[in-house]
Amino acid sequence: MKIRRRPGGSTRRPTAPTALAATALTAALTLTACGGSSSAEDSGGRLSVVASFYPMEYLAAQIGGDHVKVTGLTAPGVEPHDLELTAKQVGSVQKAGAVVYLKGLQPTVDKAVGQSRSKHVVDAAAASPLVDHHLDEGAEEQDGHAHAEGTGDPHVWLDPTRYATVAKAVGAEFAKADPAHAADYEKNTADLVGRLAALDEEFRTGLQGAKQKVFVTSHAAFGYLADHYGLEQIAISGVDPEAEPTPARLATIHRAAEQHGITTVFFESLVSPALANSVANDLKLKTAVLDPIEGIKGGKGDYFSVMRQNLAHLRTALGTTS
């Protein structure tokens, strides 16, 4: 089995439930089966919500407001694909009043949710069905594992309209789980959906007049964004951010850069920029951050501020005139 090297020189095997994670899950299931108090509400009477990673956690907090206590399973700044649940985290999923997650992204979370007691589970992939964005032949060969699984691209939150659809599902489920505060959940959902509609319009307006429509990213996280705004992403790696590109893939990127007059290679905040920097140096291009917002480190903004940063960086790279 191939070992992948993470930023800073550490190594990690491909994402999958490890023996330790499996042991934690078994232990937690045993504990919950033996009884114990329910955590559907916290000591303050708030609905207890478990969210799998940042985009789901953000929705839960914005819609739930003061009526919920949200526990995020993925720590800020951690790449969500790498998550391995502790026994305590598995237990929190088992006993939560509501769970918000995206099936297929984090196998250990999927397994815990499958054994959860909660009657109120929101799967973002069910609310906004995933699309398997077809890459060119070279990319599919290098990233065949992700395509073979058939789960599709999970990054639905990068299209504000799809994210709004997930938000509506979260609001509806919170209202079922906590009917006493249903009106507040409905209002908070409507407010958030309105803000997402405004963000969508900002992107539409901001990307008008772009000199070219193609951009290069370190991995294929931006398919929904590209589709929605009439752009095309060319990814160095496929859906898996750690897949190493083949020589044929790199040659494809070189040709595309020359053909489309590409000026910038985008890298991400949670993954080493080494590969993007190497490609950019070879092509004598600039680099910039295009953040997939899978996790935000403390004090570095929220979903809306990072999306607006992405828009500004895209406008610069694509040569917008408006």
**Pair (175, 213) in one structural domain:** no
- Domain boundary residue among 200, 219, 247? 200
DSSP state of 299: T
Mean pLDDT is lowest, of 59-73, 100-114, 308-322, for: 308-322
- The predicted structure's pLDDT at residue 141: 41
SS3 of residue 77 by DSSP = coil
Q: Is 70 exceeded by the pLDDT of residue 89?
A: yes
Per residue in 114-162, pLDDT (tens digit) is 999 899 999 999 999 999 875 544 444 444 334 334 468 999 999 999 9
For residues 141 and 117, the answer to whether their CB atoms sit within 8 Å is no
What is the count of structural domains for the chain?
Answer: 2
Between 42 and 96, name the one with better pLDDT.
96
Question: Is residue 13 included in any domain, yes or no?
Answer: no
- Tally of residues, the chain: 322
**Pair (191, 215) in one structural domain:** no
- The predicted structure's pLDDT at residue 161: 98
For residues 53 and 106, the answer to whether their CB atoms sit within 8 Å is yes
pTM: 0.82
- The predicted structure's pLDDT at residue 245: 72
Q: Is 60 exceeded by the pLDDT of residue 10?
A: no
Between 4 and 45, name the one with better pLDDT.
45
Q: For the chain, what is the mean pLDDT?
A: 82
Max CA distance (Å), the chain? 64
- The predicted structure's pLDDT at residue 321: 66
- Please report, for the domain that includes residue 281, its CATH number: 3.40.50.1980
Q: Is 80 exceeded by the pLDDT of residue 32?
A: no
- The predicted structure's pLDDT at residue 43: 54
Buried-exposed string 250-280: b where 16+ CB fall within 10 A, e elsewhere: bebbeeebeebebbbbbbbbbbbbebbeebb
- The predicted structure's pLDDT at residue 128: 98
Residues in Cβ contact with 1 at an 8 Å cutoff, skipping those fewer than 6 apart = 13, 14
Question: Is residue 76 included in any domain, yes or no?
Answer: yes
- Domain boundary residue among 200, 228, 257? 200
Cα end-to-end distance, the chain, whole Å: 50
Mean pLDDT is lowest, of 70-74, 102-106, 239-243, 246-250, for: 239-243
Per residue in 155-208, pLDDT (tens digit) is 999 999 999 999 999 999 999 999 999 999 999 999 999 999 999 999 999 999
**Pair (276, 145) in one structural domain:** no
- The predicted structure's pLDDT at residue 253: 85
State the pairing for strand pair 47-51/11-12. unpaired
- The predicted structure's pLDDT at residue 218: 85
Q: Is 70 exceeded by the pLDDT of residue 44?
A: yes
**Pair (106, 194) in one structural domain:** yes
**Pair (96, 171) in one structural domain:** yes
For residues 257 and 282, the answer to whether their CB atoms sit within 8 Å is no
C-alpha 319/C-alpha 86 separation (Å) is 46
Between 247 and 168, name the one with better pLDDT.
168
Find the domain containing 125 and state its range. 18-200
**Pair (129, 216) in one structural domain:** no
Question: Is residue 7 included in any domain, yes or no?
Answer: no
Between 122 and 271, name the one with better pLDDT.
122
- Residue 313 is encoded by which pair of tokens? 């960086």
